[in-house]
Amino acid sequence: MITFELSEEQQIAQSTIREFAQNVLRPAAQRADADGKIEQKELDAIWSTEIVQAQAAEDGRSPILNVLLLEELGAADATLALAVAAPMAFVQAIADQGSAKQRQALLALFTTPKYQAAAVAVMEPSFRFDAGHFDTKADRKGDAYTLSGVKGFVPMASHCSHFLVIAESDGAADAFIVARESPGVTVRKPKGTLGLCALELAEVSFESVAVPSAMRLGEHNGCDVQKIIDSARVGLSAIATGLGRSVLDYVIPYTKERVVHGSALARKQAIAFRIADMHIEVEAMRWMSWRAAWEMETAQNATRSAQLAYTYAAEQVMSIADEGMQAFGGHGFVRAHPIEMWYRNARSISVLEGIAGV
């Protein structure tokens, strides 16, 4: 039965997070971007929402609720939203696809009162990277794997206690839980990025890291790596929806106040129509992420709808940020306003894989 109705519980969670995100995260966004790091205070505030912890609880996870929350966080700041979404992805993968032993060993880590970073490491630092093919290899010998390769754009890498490394093993994609302290693991210094600067995206190299087969996700059953990638695409779509919304909300009052050639910018069709389009696109992005999340929630294969949601969101969020910048003119280019940060973040968030989860 087709319905877009949110339950009362979902609406309450949505408005609670909206208030938190706007009051606590939004004011911190530009400073974090400039500093290239997120203050502990904000990380702890994020942690206090218990969004990440909820993913570990039995029946605690709802992809639909998660897209609602990620949109709200994304509307405050895409970087801070990803600081939540990245450990979410890790916890979800363990909770969904980990063996009983793995769940028991790892999920407890996320019940601490302090922000706990962990990340899924999907991307690789190569211009030829594709999500269907990995240069990172895991060779099995007896009861252990040897993991070799370099992962790139790992969020909060230096803070992570664990990585879930996607690697090719026996000719197929597989996932391995690797403690950061394992011999052979090196977290490289962040090189700095175009956008999402405070995420400290960094490379992590794995030099012949010994991984016992007990640390292969799902142990002898293995896992479905595509599910992890689908989930990330939906999460990124939801955050992009929020980012698009924040641009729109910022552009409206400015274009109504700014007078050009005798009338407010917003009273000119060229500007007003772009604003209308931004709104139409933000809404459409939202329904796309909802549908993909619904497919995940109802245990359907969401690969197609996740790809389409991400494809659409990636295209629209860039165009929305671009039009927002144009409406602001020179002010948009100046760092006093968040527009230029959103412009950089929009391009960044639309080319990533694996670093969020719903």
Partner 1 sequence: MVDFSLTDADKRLVALAREEAAIGLTYSRYYDKHEDEIEPKVFPDVAGRPDPLEVLDEIEGETSGRVIAELLVLMETARGDVRMRRIKHHLGDKIVNYAGTEKQRELFGHKLLSIAMTEPGAGSDPSMIRGSARYDAATDEWILNAEKIYCSAFGASDGAVVLVRGPEEKGVRPFMAFVVEKGAQGLTELGQVRKMGIRSWDTADFVLQDCRLPSINKLDVDFKKTMIVFNGTRPGVAAMGLSIAGSLLDFARSKLMGDDQALNYVRVAKTRSAVEDRLIRLEALYEATLLTILRCKWLEHRDGTTNGATKVEAAMAKALGGEAARKITQECVEMLGPEGLSEEYLAEKWFRDARIFDIFEGAGDVNRLIVARWLLNYSQKELN
**Where on the chain is the footprint of partner 1 (CB under 8 A)?**
1-7, 10, 64, 128-132, 226, 229, 252, 255-256, 266-267, 269, 272-273, 275-277, 279-280, 283-285, 287-288, 290-291, 293-295, 298, 303-309, 311-312, 314-315, 351, 353
Contact criterion met (CB below 8 Å) for 357 and 203: no
CA distance 11 to 302: 24
Rounded to the nearest whole angstrom, what is the least distance from the CB of residue 295 to partner 1 in the complex?
8
Closest to partner 1 by CB, 212 or 253:
253
Rounded to the nearest whole angstrom, what is the least distance from the CB of residue 330 to partner 1 in the complex?
22
Closest to partner 1 by CB, 146 or 311:
311
Closest to partner 1 by CB, 43 or 69:
69
CA distance 334 to 340: 7
Closest to partner 1 by CB, 103 or 347:
347
Rounded to the nearest whole angstrom, what is the least distance from the CB of residue 256 to partner 1 in the complex?
6
Rounded to the nearest whole angstrom, what is the least distance from the CB of residue 335 to partner 1 in the complex?
27
Rounded to the nearest whole angstrom, what is the least distance from the CB of residue 231 to partner 1 in the complex?
14
CA distance 339 to 331: 8
Closest to partner 1 by CB, 193 or 226:
226
Closest to partner 1 by CB, 3 or 143:
3
Phi and psi at 50, nearest 5°, equal 60, 20
Closest to partner 1 by CB, 5 or 58:
5
Closest to partner 1 by CB, 41 or 267:
267
What residue ranges in 155-255 does DSSP mark as E strands? 160-169, 172-179, 185-187, 202-212
Rounded to the nearest whole angstrom, what is the least distance from the CB of residue 302 to partner 1 in the complex?
10
Residue 310 has, within 13 A of its CA and on its CB side, a CA count of 24
Rounded to the nearest whole angstrom, what is the least distance from the CB of residue 316 to partner 1 in the complex?
8
CA 325 to chain centre: 23
The secondary element (H helix, E strand) that includes residue 23 is none
Rounded to the nearest whole angstrom, what is the least distance from the CB of residue 212 to partner 1 in the complex?
29
Please count the residues of the chain. 358
CA distance 336 to 352: 27
CA distance 58 to 35: 37
User: Which one, of 216, 245, 195, lies nearest residue 355 by Cα?
Assistant: 195
Residue 239 has, within 13 A of its CA and on its CB side, a CA count of 31
CA distance 208 to 147: 5
Rounded to the nearest whole angstrom, what is the least distance from the CB of residue 321 to partner 1 in the complex?
18
What number of other Cβ atoms are within 10 A of residue 245's Cβ? Answer: 22
CA distance 291 to 326: 31
Closest to partner 1 by CB, 185 or 272:
272
Contact criterion met (CB below 8 Å) for 72 and 17: yes
Q: Computed from CA positions of residues 73, 151, 184, 226, in that sequence, does the dihedral angle turn out positive or negative?
A: positive
